[in-house]
Amino acid sequence: MTKKVTQISEFLLQFDALKAVNRKTYINGGERVENSAEHSWHLAMACWAFAEQSQEDFDLLKLLKLALVHDLGEIGVGDTFLYSANRNDAHIEERKYIEKLASHPGNPIGDLPELWEEQESGETKEARLLKVIDRLLPFLHNVTSEGRAWKDHGIRKSQVLKMHGFIEQENPEIYEWFISKVEYAVDQGWLKDS
């Protein structure tokens, strides 16, 4: 039993590295950048909140698991900024790290790679909600920090609309709110209107 506890403990310490993965999003109105562990926790809480108020019947346990595994691949490769040119290839290296985690002798989570793939593919209703909320949270941080990350990186309205456009199909109510905030951000000069 002691060996098993030691192995699981060593496995769990792997996750601690997610706290050292900094993102581009500023929290607390611009105080500092968020790390990926904070984002994962916030994502899980937000998914839970949206699932509770939804008319749809979500598998809440699955949704929370998807949120918690969502960014684990970043431990091995770092965070990829939403507007990065190499965003489409980030999942390849992240998948390799997930496979490494899954093969750890102390890993008691047998379906870790499957859960990660499910959130990555976005085909189940839980994974689709996760993707909407995953885009919503950094956007919300940008609004509360007066567009600090957008301004830091010269992000334009067209880029934001492109990367968030799928939300219109997935959740029209959230998309309506999102569009109103985009227009507000442009009016405030936080986003370039082009």
Phi (first) and psi of residue 22, to 5 degrees? -85, 145
pLDDT at 28: 84
pLDDT at 52: 96
Domains of the chain, each with CATH number or no CATH: 1-188 (1.10.3210.10)
DSSP symbol at 88: G
Mean pLDDT of the chain: 94
pLDDT at 151: 95
* Residue 102 to residue 192: CA distance in whole angstroms: 43
Q: What is the 3-state secondary structure (H, E, C) of 7-67?
A: HHHHHHHHHHHHHHCEEEEEECCCCEEEEHHHHHHHHHHHHHHHHHHCCCCCCHHHHHHHH
pLDDT tens digits along 30-57: 889 999 999 999 999 999 999 999 999 9
CA-CA distances (angstroms) from residue 70 to 37, 61, 74, 99?
10, 14, 9, 14
* Residue 39 to residue 65: CA distance in whole angstroms: 14
> How confident is the model over 84-113, as a mean pLDDT?
91
